[in-house]
């Protein structure tokens, strides 16, 4: 037979399959409409009554449409009677098997598909599952993604409730936990980071039309996370514990260390990249190194500055990684230190306390650190506590002198406040991890922080796609 004739034969077959599938669907729509009408009262209904009835039954219809489309588009593999074992090439005959029902965002989808089993290899195959890239779970990718997305925002139980309410579908608590865990398993800073091209694009957008390079801020800080020890038994991570369960172990606030890269343009902040984990100073350094070595920070296109509190580890890391960056001690932390001395020294006289703080901050703002230190030396400490605080503040100011140049920093367009990192602490960590009664295993807290970072960095979709590819690959090499 000539190739043209073969093609036309295949076309005819496809047209026929399509016509038949359409015909079945049209017939089903009639059945569905009858069922729907039976659900509504005889009185003329309000619009809400109509939408409620349609909402309650819509997934029957959309599920069925999906089945029809699958039957039409995968006709060949659905009708396969024989299959060569991918391991030994033996020709296998299709075996009778019950249809597989999977759960999707458009409802239940039932697939009557051929099943093959190779006795010598002791392995079963459903080629349709692979052609459709099905998850081995009953709950398919679209539901998994929606569930994980919700769980990254609200506690697992609330996620499950919201999901059911908004979609009319149920997602088990177990599935939400498992998917969130697998999705965030072994996520590192690079997996949740935008690409170098995306970062460069954001920088170029801010730089467009200007003669100066934009300021890129690296802010480093810690956010406290309520953790519990590994030996704590009870509900899953992030869940409430009863008083009795709580009594058997002691929760602990641990610092999750994080950083945020962002651009500043006057008062506007353009987010680039954040990463938080409950880990050591060295881990933060390692994460910064990975970001830098991956070429994510277009250092030549920006004026870089690093903003942090007095913590030594921050400056050690930064001096090693970004030696040319301008270092700034954030003025909020600086003010806190000054305040401490003022309240110990002038405790009762709030007027004098306030006046003294402002005078100190003004000196620091103008860069007169030595003058501020002289002021401290001239103070007659009220008691030993005040004396100790004064001594500490002098040491702190001496060590921080090169990071206290607020006026020059301001003139250069550099920020001096920690608002940028405080906002990230709040959005990434606090809103999800700090909830009354919730204590996290460190591993689970880190997984959630990684997911939160992905959302904040705009890479959640990519992280989910990677999880999907990874899982499909594993299913293929190790079928369920």
Write the secondary structure of 366-432 as one string of H (helix), E (strand) and C (coil). CCCHHHHHHHHHHCCCCCHHHHHHHHHHHHHHHHHHHHCCHHHHHHCCCCCCCHHHHHHHHHHHHHH
Closest distance of CB 26 from Zn ion, Å: 42
Does residue 207 belong to the site contacting Zn ion (CB under 5 A)? Answer: no
- Both tokens assigned to 237: 């991570």
Of residues 126 and 274, the one with the C-beta less far from Zn ion: 126
3-class state of residue 117 by DSSP: strand
Restricting to residues 396-425, name those near Zn ion by CB under 5 A.
none
Size of the site for Zn ion (CB under 5 A): 5
Closest distance of CB 132 from Zn ion, Å: 22
Closest distance of CB 476 from Zn ion, Å: 15
Of residues 52 and 123, the one with the C-beta less far from Zn ion: 123
Closest distance of CB 88 from Zn ion, Å: 3
Distance CA 111, CA 101 (A): 6
The piece of 83-91, 225-233, 361-369, 452-460 that touches Zn ion (CB under 5 A) is 83-91
Nearest to 287 by CA among 327, 324, 260: 260
The piece of 81-89, 187-195, 203-211, 441-449 that touches Zn ion (CB under 5 A) is 81-89
Residue 424 CB contacts under 8 Å (≥ 6 apart), including other chains: 219, 258, 260, 271, 274, 276, 456
Q: Which of 77, 85, 359, 427 binds Zn ion (CB under 5 A)?
A: 85
* DSSP string of 136-190, one letter each residue: SSSB-HHHHHHHHHHHTTS-HHHHHHHHHHHHS----HHHHHHHHHHHHTT--TT
Distance CA 290, CA 351 (A): 49
Q: Which of 7, 88, 166, 204 binds Zn ion (CB under 5 A)?
A: 88
Closest distance of CB 120 from Zn ion, Å: 5
Of residues 121 and 270, the one with the C-beta less far from Zn ion: 121
How many other CB atoms sit within 10 Å of the CB of residue 2?
Answer: 7
Of residues 33 and 88, the one with the C-beta less far from Zn ion: 88
Of residues 22 and 90, the one with the C-beta less far from Zn ion: 90
Distance CA 154, CA 238 (A): 10
Binding map of Zn ion across residues 107-126, x = CB under 5 A, - = no contact: -----------x--x-----
Does residue 135 contact residue 438 with C-beta atoms inside 8 Å? no
The piece of 59-67, 88-96, 136-144, 458-466 that touches Zn ion (CB under 5 A) is 88-96
Closest distance of CB 136 from Zn ion, Å: 20
The piece of 87-95, 221-229, 322-330, 414-422 that touches Zn ion (CB under 5 A) is 87-95
Does residue 420 contact residue 260 with C-beta atoms inside 8 Å? yes
Does residue 87 belong to the site contacting Zn ion (CB under 5 A)? Answer: yes
Distance CA 373, CA 357 (A): 13
Does residue 236 belong to the site contacting Zn ion (CB under 5 A)? Answer: no
Of residues 125 and 262, the one with the C-beta less far from Zn ion: 125
Closest distance of CB 116 from Zn ion, Å: 9
Of residues 124 and 234, the one with the C-beta less far from Zn ion: 124
Of residues 46 and 122, the one with the C-beta less far from Zn ion: 122
Closest distance of CB 479 from Zn ion, Å: 12
- Both tokens assigned to 75: 């006709």
Of residues 119 and 244, the one with the C-beta less far from Zn ion: 119
Task: State the first-to-last Cα distance of the chain, in angstroms, to the nearest integer.
Answer: 42
Of residues 14 and 123, the one with the C-beta less far from Zn ion: 123
Distance CA 453, CA 258 (A): 10
Nearest to 329 by CA among 282, 396, 376: 396
- Judged by the rule CB under 5 A, the positions of this chain that interact with Zn ion are 85, 87-88, 118, 121
């Amino acid at each position: 037979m000539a190739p043209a004739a073969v093609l036309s034969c295949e076309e005819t077959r496809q047209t026929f399959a399509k016509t038949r599938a359409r015909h079945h669907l049209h017939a089903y729509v009639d059945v569905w409409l009858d069922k729907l009408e039976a659900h509504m009262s005889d009185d003329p209904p309000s619009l809400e009554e109509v939408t409620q009835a349609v909402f309650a039954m819509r997934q029957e219809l959309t599920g069925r449409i999906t089945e029809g489309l699958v039957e039409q588009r995968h006709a060949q593999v659905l009708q396969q009677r024989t299959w060569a074992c991918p391991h030994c090439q033996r020709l296998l005959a299709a075996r009778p098997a019950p249809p597989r029902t999977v759960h999707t965002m458009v409802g239940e989808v039932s697939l009557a598909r051929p099943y093959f089993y190779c006795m010598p290899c002791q392995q079963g195959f459903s080629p349709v599952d692979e052609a459709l890239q099905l998850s081995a779970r009953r709950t398919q990718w679209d539901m998994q993604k929606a569930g994980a997305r919700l769980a990254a925002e609200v506690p697992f139980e609330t996620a499950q409730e919201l999901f059911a309410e908004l979609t009319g579908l149920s997602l088990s608590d177990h599935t939400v936990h498992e998917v969130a865990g697998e999705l965030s398993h072994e996520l590192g800073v690079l997996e949740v980071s935008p690409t170098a091209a995306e970062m460069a694009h954001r920088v170029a957008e801010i730089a467009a039309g200007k003669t100066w390079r934009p300021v890129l801020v690296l802010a480093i800080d810690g956010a406290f996370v309520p953790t519990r020890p590994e030996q704590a038994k009870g509900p899953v991570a992030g869940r409430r514990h009863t008083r009795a369960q709580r009594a058997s172990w002691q929760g602990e606030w641990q610092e999750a260390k994080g950083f945020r890269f962002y651009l500043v343009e006057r008062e506007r902040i353009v987010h680039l990249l954040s990463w938080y984990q409950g880990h050591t100073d060295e881990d933060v350094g390692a994460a910064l190194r990975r970001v830098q070595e991956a070429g994510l920070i277009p250092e030549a296109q920006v004026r870089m500055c690093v903003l942090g509190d007095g913590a030594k580890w921050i400056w050690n890391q930064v001096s090693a990684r970004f030696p040319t960056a301008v270092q700034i001690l954030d003025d909020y932390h600086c003010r806190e230190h000054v305040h401490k001395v003022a309240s110990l020294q002038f405790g009762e006289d709030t007027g004098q306390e306030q006046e003294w703080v402002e005078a100190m901050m003004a000196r620091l703002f103008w860069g007169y650190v030595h003058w501020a230190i002289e002021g401290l030396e001239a103070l007659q400490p009220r008691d030993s506590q005040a004396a100790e605080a004064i001594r500490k503040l002098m040491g702190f100011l001496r060590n921080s002198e090169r990071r206290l140049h607020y006026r020059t920093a301001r003139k250069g367009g550099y920020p001096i406040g920690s608002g940028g990192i405080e906002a990230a602490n709040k959005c990434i960590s606090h809103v999800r991890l700090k909830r009354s009664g919730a204590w996290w295993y460190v591993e689970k807290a880190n997984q959630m922080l990684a997911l939160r970072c992905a959302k904040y960095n705009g890479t959640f979709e990519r992280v989910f796609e990677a999880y999907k590819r990874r899982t499909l690959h594993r299913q293929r090499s190790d079928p369920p």
